[in-house]
Structure 1
């Protein structure tokens, strides 16, 4: 299947040379990339991005001797986009990820997670630790209180996701993909030229953009939030885990600032390496993809070395 058939714009094709693969998970058609050989590294995106976010990370990890799996979460990228809100729950996305991992029979998985890929990937890892080798967290959160002041403010966050305003701004006008990512990178001129078309192209109309304004409603902003118990469980499980871990953060991130969020992960996972700060706002992969790949590869090399030493 060619990239033209998949609907990728010309600006994205040269940057996305990876063969498309598809799996049926929980009734939905999920697109993923599966490149290389060795212990698997799964790269998880958030809202409103897709696997394209990791285009500069995949190649270096494959060349370092790893198998790299990059799924597009259901509702994003080249995966199927359900048009009913009930299809877009946090637990549903965790189940979708678990389904893909089981189908591919992945073990010794390194889970690299960003944004909503954090609650999704970390929940998978805590529920199936026997399949997981290590964790890498980037610009995300894993606790029940609000992620940050940005998400608690009436404007712009709560206003954008209100019942009428959300579908209008994020659905009809694609504000999150067309402006939200652009405002959350450092090199905006480069992003607009080489990357923005790829994010807009896979969300061509209001129906396909449903998840961009529905999924954020699962952020627990008060005691009655429907995902509060899930996040409380996740925080407890992470505090008890001994899985090797590394923290990478964008030093310019103003959505999940490093001083608050990276350091809170360090408290939650005191054995974790880092935080390693790289150039980047919230979507740090856009500015520092090769550096992130190098950090992950070196981290896994150290784990391999420890294994050899223990023999």
Structure 2
């Protein structure tokens, strides 16, 4: 399924995006190694529930531009999110953020609290939780990046990693697995994977804001897969305890890509959260 439908130039770079529905705005931020495909079973249903939904591929990911030499760290992506919302005429927005998208969501909510109505963090990176142990090992073993790898080698590496993201391994096979691998199926794609994604797996972007999480005053819901092998549930509890009035929902028999293991539950939790009264 092709979720994104359009592209636009924001701050000098091209982003692939989708902007549909009418009503209160919601922006979805995906994780890594991923792109907006992960929201394919969620976004259309949130649109149908009466919300204006903005979904896009982060810079350097999926169908968005992969500019050489451009900063694609979560700090830079946070700034770009603000530019995107400005370009689309979105003032205040609900943020639904997964994995490293959660780092962007946390940083944006702290930097621009007046623009964030509600914040949902789904299996988000936080504190010193990333890169995960398996990604740290891969980075250490490939200091020059992934451009020199053969396509088969990178596909095998990513397949092993992606199968760790779900509690039910059978969900990460066939066309679904192929869709996650697709952005990296070329020499430029292999190089971009390191340059725009892996090179920026750096916990300093969350550690440097960790002592400010108590400043968040908007409603926050933390949604987590109980069997997340990359971001253990203890980090979800730590976030809940640090953020005033945050609530935590742990989904059994689900992993890091919660929207693959339990899309119906994700849709239900988002819908419920978006009806939470503002403080």
Would the TM-score normalized by the shorter structure come out above 0.5? yes
Query: 108, 116, 120: which is aligned to 2:92?
Result: 108
Question: Which SS does the other structure have where 1:275 is aligned?
Answer: strand
State how far apart, in whole Å, the 1-side matches of 2:4 and 2:135 are.
40
- Structure 2 partner of 1:10: none
Question: Would the aligned equivalents of 2:19 and 2:53 in 1 still touch at CA under 8 Å?
Answer: yes
Is 1:20 matched with 2:17?
A: no
Question: Would the aligned equivalents of 1:176 and 1:212 in 2 still touch at CA under 8 Å?
Answer: no
Deviations 1:279-305 (A, max 9, x none): 4211111111221011010111232xx
Question: Would the aligned equivalents of 1:278 and 1:284 in 2 still touch at CA under 8 Å?
Answer: no
Instruction: Please report how far the alpha carbon of residue 193 of structure 1 lies from its aligned counterpart in structure 2 after TM superposition.
Output: 2.3
Is 1:289 matched with 2:270?
A: no
Instruction: Please report how far the alpha carbon of residue 203 of structure 1 lies from its aligned counterpart in structure 2 after TM superposition.
Output: 2.3
- Structure 2 partner of 1:224: none
Instruction: Please report how far the alpha carbon of residue 118 of structure 1 lies from its aligned counterpart in structure 2 after TM superposition.
Output: 1.2
State how far apart, in whole Å, the 1-side matches of 2:32 and 2:157 are.
8
Query: 105, 109, 115: which is aligned to 1:125?
Result: 109
Question: Would the aligned equivalents of 1:83 and 1:207 in 2 still touch at CA under 8 Å?
Answer: no
For structure 1, which runs of at least 5 residues remain unmatched after alignment? 1-14, 222-227
Question: Which SS does the other structure have where 2:81 is aligned?
Answer: helix
Question: Would the aligned equivalents of 2:131 and 2:201 in 1 still touch at CA under 8 Å?
Answer: no
More helix by share: 1
State how far apart, in whole Å, the 1-side matches of 2:150 and 2:120 are.
29
Deviations 1:126-168 (A, max 9, x none): 211111101001112232x353762686xx34435x3236444
- Structure 2 partner of 1:8: none
Question: Would the aligned equivalents of 1:41 and 1:111 in 2 still touch at CA under 8 Å?
Answer: yes
Give the alignment's TM-score, normalised by structure 2.
Answer: 0.88
Question: Would the aligned equivalents of 1:148 and 1:256 in 2 still touch at CA under 8 Å?
Answer: no
Distance 1:93 1:255, change over 3 A: same
State how far apart, in whole Å, the 2-side matches of 1:203 and 1:275 are.
33
State how far apart, in whole Å, the 2-side matches of 1:57 and 1:99 are.
24
State how far apart, in whole Å, the 2-side matches of 1:263 and 1:288 are.
20
Query: 198, 212, 217: which is aligned to 1:237?
Result: 212
Instruction: Please report how far the alpha carbon of residue 217 of structure 1 lies from its aligned counterpart in structure 2 after TM superposition.
Output: 3.5
Instruction: Please report how far the alpha carbon of residue 248 of structure 1 lies from its aligned counterpart in structure 2 after TM superposition.
Output: 0.4
Q: When the two structures are aligned, how many residues end up with a matched partner?
A: 277
Range with bigger deviation, 124-133 or 203-212: 203-212
Question: Which SS does the other structure have where 2:42 is aligned?
Answer: helix
Which protein has the larger Cα radius of gyration, Structure 1 or Structure 2?
1
Describe how 1:163-178 pairs up with structure 2 within 5 A: 163-164=143-144, 166-169=146-149, 173-175=154-156, 177-178=158-159
Give the alignment's TM-score, normalised by structure 1.
Answer: 0.80
Describe how 1:242-281 pairs up with structure 2 within 5 A: 242-258=217-233, 260-281=234-255
- Structure 2 partner of 1:7: none
Describe how 1:71-110 pairs up with structure 2 within 5 A: 71-84=56-69, 86-110=70-94
Question: Would the aligned equivalents of 2:4 and 2:55 in 1 still touch at CA under 8 Å?
Answer: no
For structure 2, which runs of at least 5 residues remain unmatched after alignment? none
- Structure 1 partner of 2:183: 202
